[in-house]
Structure 1
Amino acid sequence: MNQTITIKVKLNPTNEQIKLIDNGSLDYIKTINELVSEMVIDKKTTNKTSASVITPLNSAVKNQAIKDAKSVFKKAKKSKYKIIPVLKKPVIVWNNQNYTIKGNNISMPFIIDGKSKKIEIKADLNNDIFDTLSNAKLGTLRVTKKGRKYIAQISITLNIEPKTNGQVMGVDLGILIPAVATTQNGKVKFFGNGRQNKYYRRYYKTKRAKLSKAKKLNAIINMNNKEQRYMHNQDHKISRDIVNFAKENNVSVIRLECLEGISKTTRTSRKNKKNLHDWSFYRLSIYIEYKANLEGIRVEYVNPKYTSQTCPKCGERHKANGRSYFCKDCGFRTHRDLVGAKNIINATVIDGRSLSA
């Protein structure tokens, strides 16, 4: 089973190397924007090669810029040229044949005095990261700037042996309780704190309202960034805990509800409507999936229909009362979200490749 992930590594360039990165990054996005502009005018994909693109970048980087420009042009064409994306954030990209990693250095080529020359830049490569990179197939290298820091984003593909003959685990995602997981043999765990998340949402909303009155636009942007970082961090923690729970209980398959578009289709109370539209079930699902795949655990998506209403014991349907679920037919009683997790184990897999649970 192949899994592609991105490893982020901090670079420690010298002053001279900073100039090379900054100039190269600006030339890179300028080249892409110029190529996109030409393609939009001509209404067709460019036939240019690295030899016909005049810019102080080596041929491999030019080829990558042409490739990226074609990708941007596709988005413009899809919108019927109503939206023409323009790159602003400086970045420079190399393919896997044009950079090398050795010790605590990453070597990448730049144009110096008209000639392409590889430059070794020191990087924060600890033993764990170096071992991961050594055992993976390297992909593209992107160098970006975040504040005053320079970050190398290295795409890698890992070949991971999938787990077999393990248990199937169902995970129910929600607002008040971010996630509930249960295994076939009845092990249960609740993850996250939805009330705390809602508190932070309200806190940031109140702060934004005050800043908006004071017309402090930059402060509002920073506030939004803080809120997003908090929510991303919560999703990372929850997904890591879920995958660790799966490992502890010999789980080989995790099943999740396919919740794509839930914020548009779900009816909910006015109290929870804003939280539902803000909460990213998709992001949490993706975090669970890629972390699980790194451990050889497969993730399957199931049809969410009636998972929270069907009694897992007798199969009759009843609506929950608050957080409690009670089946009037067989007397089964438990937490509402746990009902969902139990039913997810046996629900129909969307792609039809269901394992017998």
Structure 2
Amino acid sequence: MQTVTVQIRLFPRDPAIMKEMGNEYIHTVNHLTEQAEASGAFPKVTSKDVEANLPSAVRNQAIRDARSIHNKTKKQGKRPILKRRAYYVNNQNYSFGDSNVSFPVMMNGKVQRLTVSVRITEREQRLLFSNKLGLLRVVEKSGKWYVHIAVEIPTEPLTSGATMGIDLGLKVPAVVVTSTGKTQFVGNGRQNRYMRRKFQARRRKMGKLKKLSAIRKQQNKEHRYMKDQNHKISRKIVNMAIEEQVSVIKIEKLTNIRQTTRTSRKNAKNLHTWSFYQLQMFIAYKAALAGIKVLEVNPAYTSQTCPACSKRNKADDRTYQCLCGFHTHRDRVGAINIMRQPGADGNSLSA
């Protein structure tokens, strides 16, 4: 089973209602976590015990969210304060039509169903109307409204087939190698760096003029550009995996990547503007839909170890040369060794 999030654009006639509900929801969750923190334990409460201008079903969801945050707080030692407006509805209390979504809100002191127009693509219709739906979240981004719906998709993993290794980087976003002998360099790192410099230059210029709203718009444009690139790269990779009858994709474990960038070969001033994690997630859910398993592996020394004799050598720029005679592109060496690595502690990114 694979869970994916479907984002659908909303076209509300009265956004003020959704703003009010979103603010009330976040306020309620924060208030409940503050109470739990003060008493040292999360209280046993029901929707009747919670004073909030929210439908009872939504108050129940707020209680579940607050309890989850409190449990995480005990492990992490710090309580996060929710600031971004959001409104959550469980799958028993919303419904979809071909061109609208309906969910409960409070209006004039009464619970009423708010029906909002939506734009649903054919792909989204297939996902929504043929799979189990989970939590719905209403959010606002740059003045536009969306719903995010968790969708559980049953998958049938392939039992046999080839293996694929993927090396992620900045100069080449993804280098892919399969056990069938195919290699592919996916994405245009030079173009991505050019676009990032372009966005950064615009933000610096706007910063001098103190145009904060324009800076945020440029940041959103950059995020949309990078997200689009990640979608295109992941689609090419999974299409290649399907063509080569790959049953397992192996990708480097990126846990704590921000803490390890000082010694990583990927250390660059703009490393964190490229979402390696997002690309991983896109590959994982697209692969899951095709019945392909995605495993994380330990990336240690994968770009230094010779695939032919196992000796470690440092690459000269982008070329890897070993005394045994083996030579190829450095990132291809990384992809080959990632393909051959066992899964890191059995971790899997797909169901």
Give the C-alpha shift of residue 304 in structure 1. 1.4
Aligned twin of 2:113: 118
Aligned twin of 1:254: 249
Aligned twin of 1:46: 43
8 Å contact from structure 1 (residues 302, 347) kept in 2: yes
The farther-off stretch of 171-180 and 274-283 is 274-283
Aligned twin of 1:350: 344
The farther-off stretch of 69-78 and 95-104 is 69-78
Q: 1:340 aligns with which of 318, 334, 337?
A: 334
Q: Take 2:97 and 2:265, find their aligned partners in 1: how far apart are those partners? A: 56
Aligned twin of 1:107: 102
Q: Take 2:153 and 2:303, find their aligned partners in 1: how far apart are those partners? A: 36
Give the C-alpha shift of residue 75 in structure 1. 5.0
**Following superposition of structure 1 onto structure 2, how do residues 25-64 of structure 1 map, counting pairs within 5 Å?**
25-64=22-61
CA 1:243–1:40: 2 relative to 1, 3 Å = same
CA 1:107–1:229: 2 relative to 1, 3 Å = closer
The DSSP-based 3-state class of the residue aligned with 1:110 is strand
Q: What residue ranges of structure 1 are gaps of 5+ in the alignment?
A: none
Give the C-alpha shift of residue 63 in structure 1. 0.3
The farther-off stretch of 282-291 and 295-304 is 282-291
What amino acid sits opposite 1:162 in the alignment? P
CA 1:164–1:124: 2 relative to 1, 3 Å = same
**Following superposition of structure 1 onto structure 2, how do residues 286-325 of structure 1 map, counting pairs within 5 Å?**
286-325=281-320
Aligned twin of 1:173: 168
Q: What residue ranges of structure 2 are gaps of 5+ in the alignment?
A: none
Aligned twin of 2:81: 85
The DSSP-based 3-state class of the residue aligned with 2:23 is helix
Aligned twin of 2:18: 21
What amino acid sits opposite 2:192 in the alignment? N
Aligned twin of 2:186: 191
8 Å contact from structure 1 (residues 140, 155) kept in 2: yes
Aligned twin of 1:233: 228
What amino acid sits opposite 1:48 in the alignment? V
Q: Take 1:269 and 1:102, find their aligned partners in 2: how far apart are those partners? A: 49
8 Å contact from structure 2 (residues 10, 116) kept in 1: yes
8 Å contact from structure 1 (residues 72, 85) kept in 2: no
Mark the structure with the bigger radius of gyration: 1
Percent pairwise identity: 46
What amino acid sits opposite 2:291 in the alignment? G
Q: Take 1:119 and 1:131, find their aligned partners in 2: how far apart are those partners? A: 24
Aligned twin of 1:136: 131
* TM-score normalised per structure 2: 0.88
CA 1:85–1:214: 2 relative to 1, 3 Å = same
Give the C-alpha shift of residue 27 in structure 1. 2.5
CA 1:185–1:79: 2 relative to 1, 3 Å = closer
Give the C-alpha shift of residue 59 in structure 1. 1.3
Give the C-alpha shift of residue 79 in structure 1. 5.5
The farther-off stretch of 274-283 and 174-183 is 274-283
Give the C-alpha shift of residue 158 in structure 1. 0.8
What amino acid sits opposite 2:191 in the alignment? Q
Give the C-alpha shift of residue 274 in structure 1. 1.4
Aligned length: 348
Give the C-alpha shift of residue 343 in structure 1. 1.7
Q: 2:62 aligns with which of 48, 62, 65?
A: 65
What amino acid sits opposite 2:46 in the alignment? T
8 Å contact from structure 1 (residues 76, 85) kept in 2: no
CA 1:30–1:315: 2 relative to 1, 3 Å = closer
What amino acid sits opposite 1:47 in the alignment? K
Aligned twin of 1:222: 217
Q: Take 1:271 and 1:300, find their aligned partners in 2: how far apart are those partners? A: 21
8 Å contact from structure 1 (residues 56, 111) kept in 2: yes
Q: Take 1:353 and 1:34, find their aligned partners in 2: how far apart are those partners? A: 36
Give the C-alpha shift of residue 180 in structure 1. 0.7
The DSSP-based 3-state class of the residue aligned with 1:351 is strand
* Offset from partner CA, 1:221-249 (integer Å, 9 cap, x none): 33333333322322222112111111121
The farther-off stretch of 197-206 and 137-146 is 197-206
What amino acid sits opposite 2:171 in the alignment? L
Say what the alpha-carbon RMSD is for the aligned residues.
2.8
Give the C-alpha shift of residue 162 in structure 1. 1.2
The farther-off stretch of 107-116 and 229-238 is 107-116
8 Å contact from structure 2 (residues 177, 336) kept in 1: yes
CA 1:198–1:349: 2 relative to 1, 3 Å = same
Q: Take 1:38 and 1:50, find their aligned partners in 2: how far apart are those partners? A: 15
CA 1:90–1:345: 2 relative to 1, 3 Å = closer
8 Å contact from structure 2 (residues 7, 149) kept in 1: yes
